[in-house]
Structure 1
Amino acid sequence: MPEHMSVSVRELMEYVYRGGSIDDRFRSHSSMVEGTLIHQAVQKEYKDSDQKEVDLQYQYLIDEVSLNIHGRCDGLLQFSDGPVIDEIKSTSRLLEEISEESYPIYWAQAKGYAYIYADKEDLEEIRVQLTYVQKQTKEKKRFMHVFAKADLELFMQDTVEEYMSYARILLHIREQKEKSIPEFSFPFPGYRKGQRKLAGAVYRTSQEKRNLFAQAPTGIGKTISTLFPAIKSMQLGEQERIFYLTAKTVTRMTAEEGLQLMEESGLNLRSVTITAKDKICFKEETICQPEHCEFAAGYYDRINGAIVDILRNETQMTRSVVETYARKHKVCPFEFSLDLSDVVDIVICDYNYIFDPRVSLKRLLPEHKKKTTLLVDEAHNLVERARSMYSATIFQNSYWEMEDQWKETNEKLAQTAKAVRKDLESISHNEHESTIEAIPGDLEENLERFVYRAEFELKEQNDGEKGEALLDCYFSTQNFLKILALVDDHYEFIVTNSQGNKSLKLFCLDPSHILERVTRPFRSSVYFSATLSPFAYYKDMLGGQDDDYILRLPSPFQPEQIEVMISPLSTRFKNREQTAERLAELLYNQVKKQHGNHLCFFPSYQYMNMVYHHFKKYGDIESVAQEHGMTEERRDDFLAQFVSGGQLVGFAVLGGIFSEGVDLRGDRLNGVAVVGIGIAPRSFEKELINTYFTKRGENGYDYAYVYPGMNKVMQAGGRLIRSEEDHGIIQLIDDRFLSNKYTKLLPEEWRSFRIIR
């Protein structure tokens, strides 16, 4: 029996015929929506007898492999002298710059469709048309060729033979996966309390193509409890890929450790971790242009060899593994990891590769999404991250600078920058922040004109500060236009006038509707965190629907493992100087009561340093404080000081890098203190959120301030008990913790607290 595999015409041609360099100076940043709209506009001009989006399939048998080549051609046009295959491509380039030879890969794709159709209809020859549409002007340019079926057949044979060495590797790793998944079992002797229930819920969610919101307290083992059932769900073949989405590097490492553990238990899958471009780039400056970077120059000429090599020899493609093979094959490590994401079984990456419209993986086609499950770790973080992702700002002075810099050398570019600048000048003249009902009528069109002119200038290989400033302004304008396409009644337009530099912000008040729209095409989504509380708030804000599954699990730990104290001391801004010394004393008493290492969390650096100054007067206790803008190396050094059996007090900021995702097991952490209720200071934007949700019938103040603040408190407290052997003390310092509003938001296991008067 032949082995079966499937590949789209597009994927087949891209693998065999792509070549050249990465050049980020002038890459198309248009959205798939924009490309789709251009396709639809061309297709509307077709005659009634013409067909659009025509499904085509061909079964190719080669070396005992049955290769199903499939695709959907843009148009099948009917003329009296025979049919024409139409392939539509949008472009930012001037049409006069495009020749028949400009994009061989597009001809290859069109010829693939032409061969399949000619074979199906038994045609001796067929015409193929490439239709280029200029994105800004919507002008069209067409090229047409007549191909003999015999020539197309030879072309397809050569293409498939070139692809088969790669296809055999894909078949081999698929065979390994399909053999290992049914045979491997849970990688621990037994389940912790609540772990089996979570794993079962994730498996059922994936099988039923549903969504799940799960609050799973620290210690259950959320990573294994979600990855294991999602992988087992692949056994039936309908689910092919998992995206494990995280907000922080440390949780990505936890997912990698979980996969390593399962591999040691017999699992054989391929995974890749995508690391941010600026972190993994080999160059001092991240300039993705062939003149600046040898890893970008000729990237597409070498990438196939790199992919084949790493797939043959590696299963877990972590950052260090990707870097090793990228250096070996002289390819960009970031783009390499993105290309690997197309062929592996599990992708570990930041939220933004799925949710952020500016950097999300455009290569994830609808047919891939419906076979992909999303596992969203620490999902409480996604609310604020999404609000930021779906907001965008432009600054008047950026366009003033462009106007000034280019007026001598590119008058048309300078004029478009001036038009944008004048539009921004014309809006609200308030001193500070205000909202407006609508943006100026010509602003969107003028921004599009600026992008159009900037793209042509950027093609001229503008280097130096002037070119860099143009590139920055170009990207921020592109981002603004992308977000502008999402704007509806969930948004406010905020105008800020700061020292003469006016800005316009598209502020997303409620990201839930966009999150729901983004995840809808995927097979299933699992949102999990130790702190999805209150549950209704997070389900609402993450785009949950009535038919989604929900799961709340109790803590797996015993009540006697943790002692909770509440010290009703005012930490309000107006009282901080008067109570700072008493606060330092409360922290000192905690350390003396519970020997070992402690972490104390504060609402701001200023407050932290004020109390730290008083605490250092107690000379018998060693202490260390978090610094502004710590590098990853400095963060590691900070945590490395918390050694088993030591006595160290760490001062850190609530909601910062040390209050989430930090895992100091056993005797490395014996106590936590949380100062304040985590509420952010009142701000213009927070008040807009407050008003928006109040009008919706919710408690707007809680949505804007209380729930996000208390989540920080619970996350910080969650650093303490990480395993069945851990014991320790938590001190909550603020008189408001004793009010009913805040007490009922505390985790169940914290509510047997003792009050320190």
Structure 2
Amino acid sequence: MDRSMTISVRELVSYVFRAGSIDERFQSNTALLEGTAIHQEVQKKYKDGDEKEVFLQCEYKYGELNLIVQGRCDGLLEGEDGPVIDEIKSTSGDLEELDSSSHPVYWAQAKGYAYIYSLQENLEEIDVQLTYVQKRTKEKKRLQIRFTHDELADFMKETVKAYQSYASVLHDLEEQREATVPSFSFPFSTYRTGQRKLAGSVYRTIEEKRNLFAQAPTGIGKTISTLFPAVKALSLDKMDRIYYLTAKTTTRATAEEALAKMEEHGLSLRSVTLTAKEKICFQEETICQPDYCEYADGYYDRVNDGIVDVLRNETQLTRPVIEAYARKHRLCPFEFSLDLTDVVDVIISDYNYIFDPRVALKRLLPDRKKKTALLVDEAHNLVERAREMYSASVYKNPFREASAAWGDEEGIRKTARAVADDLERLGGFQGGEVVINEVPGELEENLERFIGKSEQIIQEQPEDERSESLVDLYFTAQNFLRIFEFVDDHYRFIAARGEDGDLMLKLFCLDPSHVLKKVTDGFRSGTFFSATLSPFAYYKEMLGGTKEDYILQLPSPYDASQVDVTITPLSTRYKNRNQTSGILAERLKDQVENYSGNHLFFFPSYHYMELVYQEFRKMSPVDAVMQERGMDESRREDFLAQFVPGGRLAGFAVMGGVFSEGVDLRGDRLNGVAVVGVGLAPRNFEKELIKDYFNEKGRRGYDYAYVYPGMNKVLQAGGRLIRSEEDHGAIQLIDDRFAAEKYTSLFPEDWRNYRIIK
């Protein structure tokens, strides 16, 4: 039985010929952009008759394997002795050290193109050329080898032979997916109210290559209702992959559970969960160098065996599975998980792997994105996260210090001083923060010069002598320039002077909607969903939605009788907290006494929580536990494990923290919630800029900056209570502002029958 598949020349040779170690001693984040610019510069100087970006394709049969091999060579040149295949590569190394034995993957890629072209044109011989360009000096070195077609045919035969076992695994997985995706059905006997509508909307959105913004109430089963139709959509033409994006570890676990449930009902596909490098690294420090880490040393010599092994034997490549196979094959677990994203069907990860320009996966090329659907869980979190991702700052003092510390290096001394002098020009104000109209002096150009000079020094330094402060400053400068490319009228330039006299310039993203839309547009489809996209128009706008996108707002599946909502009109404003803390503790004590079981109380700050906790302990015999600052995952699990069915516990936590979202305490594990305050962030300079910006756009600036983000925290905290049709309990909203129409209009439907307690 023939096994047919399409593969690029680059993918084919990268798998077969990659070797060696992971070595991240120093890598420029601008490598991709530099490489593109260098390619274009070389291609501009091609002669008349030379061609660039030439598409080549052939069909190659080896045993039962039928490969459609394709790709674009950088150049097809007219040489003195006939056609020349040209591949352009940039390098930071010394050109003198490069010869025809360097970079076997590069040569293999060029030979792959040469084989296809010589086959198409019936050539007996063809020249293959690697054009190296030194990044810093822009000097070029060309290496050329002449191959006969027979030599290239032998090369291709051996390459495909080496790829065959891996291709067999991929083909088997594809067959399993194609056999099970169309036939498997919803993994529960019935749909909850609203689930079928949500699932149908997600499928239609992916099918029509559109975007969807969906508000689906807590407890409806959003994860299965979005993953199930997305998986079903994998049978659509040109739909290959799903990214399920989350903000928290708990929601990643829910996605894993949903995939496991579908597998129990006959689905066969592969998924991988990405874990941050700092969390999954086997070493005490994340130093990705062969002389420090045995898992980096020789990684590429072993990774192919590891990939085949895990794909043959596992379906859900969760963190424990990744770690087990990484140890078995002595592989870096983080890089192993990233390599697996190329071959699995579903990737579960944090937002930043798609949306953050600093860490977004560069391996996700445009043609692959167009075959990928995004599912963005708890999408309300993405607004503030994106604002942070697309903002950046630089400070004067580190550049002044670098200029002094590197006095012997004229390049760094001058460029760092020039950057510091530019920032010094911001100093015409006494303190605090101000908005300026433009970046001072030649800051952008001087930062580019500093990056070039410092990169040269860093690469030449022995690792054990490298200056961490210089490396940190290098990446700070790079990130600033990267974000500077996004600056438009959605941004403000903020200058600030610290108490130490240091000057700061910040590129502050007021409105991230334009960058989120640009990223989402690169993919086949995007579904943004949450229980609390309220008000809906605000979140749709802030997440980059347009009038062409689909929208869905589902009513709560629960009866209002399941929850007793009360408003306690007590001032929780900062100036009144000391006076009202005793009364507040008494109201919480009353709630515990009136409603048996476990309760969670949410506060706007640690300090306020600790103050009321002490008062509560004095007056109530009920056991109480309090969220600690900086709790790790095991401590969080211990905290939640104390909420047992039939228990009587009062938990104190911070609104907007780890326990107010993504926590699922069903049934008698949680019987009551209290939310203290309306969630407003303290007034500050940046929030006021956001307010003014949206006022100028004809929006409700104060609500955009303060009320809507604050109430989202309230709704999320309150949403911890009712998680299923069987759940009942009490929600106490403690703040006099909750009774105002501005806030009651944002209540979910099942909160509308509230009572005010005087």
Task: Provide Cα deviations, 1:340-391, integer angstroms capped at 9, x if missing partner.
Answer: 0000010000000011111111001112111111110000000011111111
CA shift, 1:616, in A, is: 1.2
- Distance in 2 separating the partners of 1:427 and 1:96: 45
Change in 2 beyond 3 A, CA 1:754/1:200: same
Q: Which residue of 1 aligns with 2:665?
A: 664
Percent sequence identity is: 65
Q: Secondary structure of the residue that 2:455 maps to in structure 1?
A: helix
Farther-moved stretch of structure 1 (509-518 vs 424-433): 424-433
Farther-moved stretch of structure 1 (494-503 vs 644-653): 494-503
- Distance in 2 separating the partners of 1:213 and 1:619: 44
CA shift, 1:588, in A, is: 1.0
CA shift, 1:105, in A, is: 1.4
Contact kept? 2:690, 2:704, Cα under 8 Å: yes
Q: Which amino acid aligns with 1:523?
A: R
- Distance in 1 separating the partners of 2:414 and 2:287: 28
Q: Which residue of 2 aligns with 1:57?
A: 57
Q: Which amino acid aligns with 2:311?
A: L
Determine whether 1:401 maps to 2:393.
Answer: no
Task: Provide Cα deviations, 1:518-542, integer angstroms capped at 9, x if missing partner.
Answer: 1112111110100011111111111
- Distance in 1 separating the partners of 2:197 and 2:35: 44
Q: Which residue of 2 aligns with 1:610?
A: 611
Q: Which residue of 2 aligns with 1:18?
A: 18
Q: Which residue of 2 aligns with 1:125?
A: 125
- Distance in 2 separating the partners of 1:472 and 1:261: 45
Contact kept? 1:660, 1:719, Cα under 8 Å: yes
Q: Secondary structure of the residue that 1:403 maps to in structure 2?
A: helix
Determine whether 1:152 maps to 2:152.
Answer: yes
Q: Which residue of 2 aligns with 1:216?
A: 216
Change in 2 beyond 3 A, CA 1:188/1:371: same
Q: Matches of residues 291-310 of structure 1 in structure 2 within 5 Å?
A: 291-310=291-310
Q: Which residue of 2 aligns with 1:703?
A: 704
Q: Which residue of 1 aligns with 2:241?
A: 241
| TM-score after normalising by structure 1 | 0.97
Contact kept? 2:458, 2:466, Cα under 8 Å: no
Q: Secondary structure of the residue that 2:126 maps to in structure 1?
A: strand
Q: Matches of residues 529-608 of structure 1 in structure 2 within 5 Å?
A: 529-608=530-609
Task: Provide Cα deviations, 1:532-587, integer angstroms capped at 9, x if missing partner.
Answer: 11111111111112111100001111111111001111111111111111111111
Q: Secondary structure of the residue that 2:631 maps to in structure 1?
A: coil
Q: Matches of residues 143-222 of structure 1 in structure 2 within 5 Å?
A: 143-222=143-222
Q: Which residue of 2 aligns with 1:354?
A: 354
Task: Provide Cα deviations, 1:642-668, integer angstroms capped at 9, x if missing partner.
Answer: 111111111111101111111111111
Q: Which amino acid aligns with 2:424?
A: E
Q: Which amino acid aligns with 2:419?
A: V
Q: Which amino acid aligns with 1:444?
A: E
- Distance in 1 separating the partners of 2:75 and 2:485: 27
Determine whether 1:735 maps to 2:736.
Answer: yes
Determine whether 1:78 maps to 2:41.
Answer: no
Q: Which amino acid aligns with 1:543?
A: G
- Distance in 1 separating the partners of 2:97 and 2:689: 48
Task: Provide Cα deviations, 1:199-223, integer angstroms capped at 9, x if missing partner.
Answer: 0001111111111110000111001
- Distance in 2 separating the partners of 1:141 and 1:688: 52
Task: Provide Cα deviations, 1:657-697, integer angstroms capped at 9, x if missing partner.
Answer: 11111111111111111111111011111111111111112
- Distance in 2 separating the partners of 1:313 and 1:753: 54
| TM-score after normalising by structure 2 | 0.97
- Distance in 1 separating the partners of 2:402 and 2:101: 35
- Distance in 1 separating the partners of 2:376 and 2:33: 25
Q: Matches of residues 353-752 of structure 1 in structure 2 within 5 Å?
A: 353-408=353-408, 410-430=409-429, 431-460=431-460, 462-463=462-463, 467-498=467-498, 499-752=500-753
Task: Provide Cα deviations, 1:67-123, integer angstroms capped at 9, x if missing partner.
Answer: 010101122223454222221223344545544443221111111111111111111
Q: Secondary structure of the residue that 1:617 maps to in structure 2?
A: helix
CA shift, 1:613, in A, is: 1.8
Q: Which amino acid aligns with 1:287?
A: I
- Distance in 2 separating the partners of 1:297 and 1:454: 27
- Distance in 2 separating the partners of 1:469 and 1:481: 18
Change in 2 beyond 3 A, CA 1:138/1:459: closer
Farther-moved stretch of structure 1 (475-484 vs 84-93): 84-93
Farther-moved stretch of structure 1 (78-87 vs 685-694): 78-87
- Distance in 2 separating the partners of 1:464 and 1:733: 57
- Distance in 1 separating the partners of 2:33 and 2:542: 25
Q: Which amino acid aligns with 2:719?
A: G
CA shift, 1:411, in A, is: 4.2
Change in 2 beyond 3 A, CA 1:110/1:465: closer
- Distance in 1 separating the partners of 2:673 and 2:114: 67
- Distance in 2 separating the partners of 1:97 and 1:686: 54
CA shift, 1:150, in A, is: 1.6
CA shift, 1:461, in A, is: 5.4
Contact kept? 2:426, 2:503, Cα under 8 Å: no
- Distance in 1 separating the partners of 2:697 and 2:41: 38
- Distance in 2 separating the partners of 1:344 and 1:466: 38
Task: Provide Cα deviations, 1:412-466, integer angstroms capped at 9, x if missing partner.
Answer: 3343323322222222342121222222342222222222233333334544585
CA shift, 1:396, in A, is: 2.1
Farther-moved stretch of structure 1 (143-152 vs 359-368): 143-152
CA shift, 1:41, in A, is: 2.9
CA shift, 1:31, in A, is: 6.0
Change in 2 beyond 3 A, CA 1:411/1:101: farther
Q: Secondary structure of the residue that 2:592 maps to in structure 1?
A: helix
Q: Which amino acid aligns with 2:418?
A: A
Q: Secondary structure of the residue that 1:23 maps to in structure 2?
A: coil
CA shift, 1:698, in A, is: 1.2
Task: Provide Cα deviations, 1:460-484, integer angstroms capped at 9, x if missing partner.
Answer: 4544585322222222222222112
Q: Which amino acid aligns with 1:560?
A: S
Change in 2 beyond 3 A, CA 1:143/1:486: farther
Q: Secondary structure of the residue that 1:24 maps to in structure 2?
A: coil
- Distance in 1 separating the partners of 2:258 and 2:700: 39
- Distance in 2 separating the partners of 1:654 and 1:9: 52
Determine whether 1:90 maps to 2:93.
Answer: no
Contact kept? 1:670, 1:720, Cα under 8 Å: yes
- Distance in 2 separating the partners of 1:490 and 1:92: 36
- Distance in 2 separating the partners of 1:603 and 1:676: 7
Task: Provide Cα deviations, 1:223-266, integer angstroms capped at 9, x if missing partner.
Answer: 10001111111123421110000000000000001111111111
- Distance in 2 separating the partners of 1:196 and 1:92: 55
CA shift, 1:173, in A, is: 0.9
- Distance in 1 separating the partners of 2:667 and 2:38: 59
Change in 2 beyond 3 A, CA 1:92/1:489: farther
Change in 2 beyond 3 A, CA 1:223/1:465: farther
Count of aligned pairs = 756
Contact kept? 1:599, 1:669, Cα under 8 Å: yes
- Distance in 2 separating the partners of 1:103 and 1:413: 32
Q: Which amino acid aligns with 2:225?
A: S
CA shift, 1:304, in A, is: 0.8
Change in 2 beyond 3 A, CA 1:313/1:695: same
CA shift, 1:32, in A, is: 4.0
CA RMSD of aligned residues (A): 1.7
- Distance in 2 separating the partners of 1:38 and 1:526: 37
Task: Provide Cα deviations, 1:152-177, integer angstroms capped at 9, x if missing partner.
Answer: 11111111111111110100111111
Q: Which amino acid aligns with 1:669?
A: L
- Distance in 2 separating the partners of 1:226 and 1:154: 48
Determine whether 1:262 maps to 2:274.
Answer: no
Unaligned runs of 5+ in 2: none
Contact kept? 2:65, 2:164, Cα under 8 Å: no
Q: Secondary structure of the residue that 2:269 maps to in structure 1?
A: coil
